[in-house]
């Protein structure tokens, strides 16, 4: 595995097609994410956003195409190895290990990832201070907003080069959305590359460097966020 350098994109996807059995969901996806940037993917329900993230995480095998992480081909690499290679994933729906405490959720992820870095659990908790008084609570008892923060923190303790977040603001009350948004901005400022699927345009435009729109399993727009006017985004997303 190479280490992150300026010479390779953090993530490079080329000619990717994927789906479920005979259901073809993603068509000819090309996507490049450069080190230290926040890439936001937007699109209506069911267009294939989660399918793309699951394919990057190794949970779905593409029918064609390649995925490179820091210049290394990971297209056939199993999911647990991708975590060790530097992909941290907080899936949609803020899933946690419900029977385990908050602390054990973080410890299990940290140990499984086998990735170094100074005090990743302390670092994750610094981004989500609301979790500190909850460390001994079972994750299954957390509120939706708390569980979402734990899900992101759990991906973060793997010390990822690429942090993937699938709709981290979905169903979350506004003040917690603001906290999550600030955490994303801070994590990015510390050098972690982020791939974010986000439903709220205002959150996306504040957090992201680039915005990619998917419709019907195809990329219909990609570029710097300033290229995406709010009017254009509303038209593209039909919202
Ligand atoms: N396990 C599965 N088996 C078969 N089809 C699936 C499966 N998961 C998703 N799909 C289908 O793949 C398509 C894309 O789904 P996906 O979850 O990627 O969309 P999405 O853009 O993430 O939507 P949302 O905004 O609702 O999260 C949908 O038509 C969906 O019904
Ligand atoms: Mg989804």
Specify if 58 maps to a domain.
Answer: no
pLDDT of residue 63: 97
Specify if 208 maps to a domain.
Answer: yes
Specify if 147 maps to a domain.
Answer: yes
Rounded to whole angstroms, the Cα distance separating 172 from 1 reads 37
pLDDT of residue 189: 95
pLDDT of residue 3: 57
Query: Is residue 56 in contact with ligand 1, taking CB distance under 6 Å?
Result: no
Specify if 150 maps to a domain.
Answer: yes
pTM: 0.94
Residues near 202 by Cβ (< 8 Å), separated by ≥ 6?
none
Phi–psi pair at 52, nearest 5 degrees: -65, -45
User: Mean pLDDT of all residues in the chain?
Assistant: 92
Parent domain of 208: 37-46+86-237
pLDDT digits (tens, 9 = 90+) for 144-203: 999 999 999 999 999 999 999 999 999 999 999 999 999 999 999 999 999 999 998 889
Extended strands (E) in 21-148: 23-33, 38-42, 64-69, 72-73, 87-90
Specify if 227 maps to a domain.
Answer: yes
Atom 3 (ligand 1) nearest CA: 20
Query: Is residue 92 in contact with ligand 1, taking CB distance under 6 Å?
Result: yes
Residue 50 has pLDDT above 90, yes or no: yes
Cα end-to-end distance, the chain, whole Å: 42
Specify if 193 maps to a domain.
Answer: yes
- Residue 112's CATH number: 3.40.50.300
Phi–psi pair at 42, nearest 5 degrees: -125, 160
Residue among 158, 164, 145, 168 nearest 107 (CA)? 158
Overall domain count for the chain: 1
Please tell me the distance between residue 48's alpha carbon and the centre of ligand 2 in angstroms.
7
Residue 207 has pLDDT above 80, yes or no: yes
Query: Is residue 51 in contact with ligand 1, taking CB distance under 6 Å?
Result: yes
Beta strand 64-69 pairing with 72-73: antiparallel
Please tell me the distance between residue 180's alpha carbon and the centre of ligand 2 in angstroms.
18
Rounded to whole angstroms, the Cα distance separating 118 from 161 reads 14
Specify if 60 maps to a domain.
Answer: no
């Amino acid at each position: 595995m190479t280490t992150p350098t300026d010479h390779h994109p953090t993530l490079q996807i080329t000619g990717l097609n994927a789906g479920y059995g005979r259901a073809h969901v993603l068509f000819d996806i090309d996507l490049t994410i450069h080190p230290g940037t926040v890439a936001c993917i937007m699109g209506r329900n069911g267009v294939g956003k989660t399918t793309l993230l699951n394919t990057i995480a190794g949970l779905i095998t593409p029918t064609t195409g390649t995925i490179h992480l820091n210049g290394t081909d990971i297209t056939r690499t199993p999911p647990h190895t991708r975590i060790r290679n530097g992909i941290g994933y907080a899936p949609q729906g803020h899933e946690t290990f419900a029977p385990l405490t908050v602390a054990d959720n973080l410890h299990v992820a940290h140990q499984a990832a086998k990735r170094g870095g100074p005090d990743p659990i302390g670092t994750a908790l610094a981004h989500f201070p609301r979790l500190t008084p909850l460390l001994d609570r079972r994750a299954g008892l957390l509120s939706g907003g708390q569980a979402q923060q734990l899900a992101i923190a759990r991906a973060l303790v793997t010390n990822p080069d690429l942090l993937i977040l699938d709709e981290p603001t979905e169903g979350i009350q506004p003040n917690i959305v603001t906290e999550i948004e600030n955490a994303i901005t801070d994590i990015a400022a510390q050098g972690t590359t982020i791939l974010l699927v986000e439903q709220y345009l205002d959150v996306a435009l504040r957090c992201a460097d680039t915005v990619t729109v998917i419709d019907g399993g195809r990329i219909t727009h990609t570029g710097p966020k300033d290229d995406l006017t709010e009017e254009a985004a509303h038209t593209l997303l039909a919202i």
